Amino acid sequence: MASAPRLAIDFGTSHTVAVCRWREGEGRPLLFDASPLLPSAVLADAAGRLLVGRDAVRAGRTDPGSLEPYPKRRIDEGSILLGRTEVTVVEVVAAVLRRCADEAVRVAGRPIGDLVLTHPAAWGPRRREILVDAAGHAGLPRPALLAEPVAAATYFTTVLARSVRTGAAVIVYDFGAGTFDVAVLRRRPDGGWDVADSQGLADLGGLDLDGIVVERVRAAALASDVQGWRRLTQPGTEADLRNRQSLWEEARAAKEQLSRRSTAGMHLPIFERDVHVTREEFESAANATIERTVALTAATMSASGLDRGQVAGLFLVGGASRVPLVATSLHRRLGLAPTIIEQPELVVAQGALLATVIGTGRGSAVATPPDDVPVPAHPVPVPAHPARVDRAPASGQPVTPVDPPATPAVTWRRRRGTWIGAAVVLVLVAAVVVTVVIRANRQPPLSTQGLANEQVIHSPALRAFARPWLDHVTDCEQRAPDTYGGRATEYVACAGDGWEVQFRALDGQAGRDLSRDQRVEAYDGIRKEFTGERPRSGTQVRYVFGPDQRVIYWDDDDSAMVGDLTTVGDSTLDFAALLRVWQEYVG
């Protein structure tokens, strides 16, 4: 007698993935309109019915007010207004889960027996209970819940047969369309996983990389037709809404093509012309954005007390992680070779399905009820938007990308011998490739000095803010907290060549804002808008303090972290020279 189907669902910010297993030895991603990626979008039509996926996206082109493209970001809001219909968050999430379950029943031919749902590691009991309630509202069995990085680690150590000894750690780097998350997991003696630490960037995802591609073609468009570009970015008609959708679809396709080729073409609707973007242009513009994820990964690894020798794998998850600059930047910063696969969007759902198959209790990678799900040792509050992170083997050797198998539950054992034999050759080839890439990059690898300086800064958030400088300064020292517009909780100064850079963690957003205003008002600073990604939508203020001491102040709008770059001693640096130093690391 056939067993009841098992269904694993990774409810994501931009897309949802479902993997079903209804026969022994088989588990495969479900397809929605011929794609394993179901848009998480939900729309309430005129009759109050909820449309899901591409049906919702298509209907949203003519009725955008009734569409919620990223319902996971609204998880804390209780209810969502879709046009004139107010819908509870539980109902919205249930609509997405029901769409997955309906497809599973259609394919398997019988009702779902077991259900596992994944969630960000930092989600607390209330958010996890929303998933449970949504499953019940959708008419599904009570689900087991599994943290996304645990599911990812299960996939890599099961399907890819990565051996991780007891006490060793893996890093999961999850760069999805809407958010970024990173987690450090340690292997327990019973073979299970503990989430040692996890952090995320709720405001950053692959959509930001799509936006960079759009920005790269903006100048060419404005040069020929300002009004046409306004129609694309501020659509006022149904036709213009469709054109904007087409523009962003073209941008996403171009970004994905640049992961495989050195140049990509994209068609500009309204303008009816083709433009090209090079990988060099894209990577130059995207570097600061990707560096934010890398810096947070390094900070999370450091906060967990790990050194490279304790890390058995750096695993890349999420569609945006396939951008080549991601793996290069992680390898350069951490000294760890990431493990990459062809379809990183599917890893979490496939790993969750495996956890339901191989799990035998809390001592394994089994999914657990809401109240028992392991949470990070240092939980980080997550805003109403999600995020994620990953790495490679203990040997430190780079690993060539691997295609995920179609039947992960059983056939991985049969393929293991073949993979190991092929991996010997592939690892050698990949090692040469990565070495060439690293040598070609102008930024030096993490130095011993950088490691020592990093240890001076205790706060992971402040360390992430200061991280771009730490390889390039000499001595760093902690100083007594000062006011600077608010009580500084940590104050670190580092010496450079003719300049000093100071980093402070102020007492909340109000302290940061007061500090920024103080520099403009008290010191007659020159405030000008800064358009780079670090600080994102922040300001750069330059002013003179004391006898000809030139200072550039900057901050991060998402935190209370601020910095000063200051001339010291007999420095001959003028503002232009000081600005070049600042832009080398921050701009």
**Radius of gyration of the chain from its Cα atoms, rounded to whole angstroms:** 25
Identical fold between 6-144 and 149-204+284-437: yes
pLDDT tens for each residue of 207-257: 889 989 998 888 778 877 888 888 888 877 778 877 888 888 888 889 988
Closest CA to 506 of 494, 495, 517: 517
| The three-state (H, E, C) secondary structure of 467-490, written as one string | HHHCCCCCCEEECCCCCCCCCCCE
| 448-585: CATH, from 1.10.3210, 3.30.300, 3.40.1000, 1.25.40 | 3.40.1000
Looking at per-residue pLDDT, the higher value among 519 and 130 belongs to 130
CA distance 522 to 504: 19
pLDDT tens for each residue of 364-378: 334 444 444 333 333
- Strands (E) located in 287-401: 311-317
With 70 as the cut, is the pLDDT of residue 4 above it? yes
| 6-144: CATH, from 3.40.50.720, 3.40.50.300, 3.30.420.40, 2.60.40.10 | 3.30.420.40
CA distance 140 to 385: 25
Distance of CA 477 to the CA centre of its chain: 32
Looking at per-residue pLDDT, the higher value among 498 and 518 belongs to 498
Query: How would residue 433 be classed by pLDDT, with cut points 50, 70 and 90?
Result: very low
**Three-class DSSP category at 264:** strand
Residue spans of the domains in the chain: they are 6-144, 149-204+284-437, 448-585
Tokens, residue 201:
């960037």
Please, what's the b/e burial string for 360-387 (b: 16 or more CB within 10 A of its CB; e: otherwise)? eeeebbbbbebeebbbbebebebeebbb
Please state, rounded to an integer, the average pLDDT across all residues of the chain. 77
Distances (CA, A) of 355 to 41, 171, 244, 307, 383: 27, 18, 41, 28, 28
pLDDT tens for each residue of 88-100: 999 999 999 999 9
Can you give the length of the chain in residues? 587
CA distance 117 to 237: 39
Q: What's the whole-number mean pLDDT along residues 330-359? A: 83
pLDDT tens for each residue of 501-516: 999 888 777 777 777 7
Please give the pLDDT value at position 261: 87
Strand 6-11 relative to strand 561-567, pairing: unpaired
CATH annotation of 149-204+284-437: 3.30.420.40
Residue with tokens 């941008």, as numbered in its chain: 251
Instruction: Work out the end-to-end distance of the chain between its first and last CA atoms, rounded to an integer number of angstroms.
Output: 63
CA distance 407 to 21: 9
> Which of 5-19, 20-34, 420-434 is predicted with the least confidence, judged by mean pLDDT?
420-434
Please give the pLDDT value at position 297: 92
Q: How many Cβ atoms are within 10 Å of 560's Cβ, its own excluded?
A: 23
Sign of the CA dihedral running 175, 176, 178, 183: negative
Q: What's the whole-number mean pLDDT along residues 72-87? A: 89
Whole-structure pTM value: 0.60
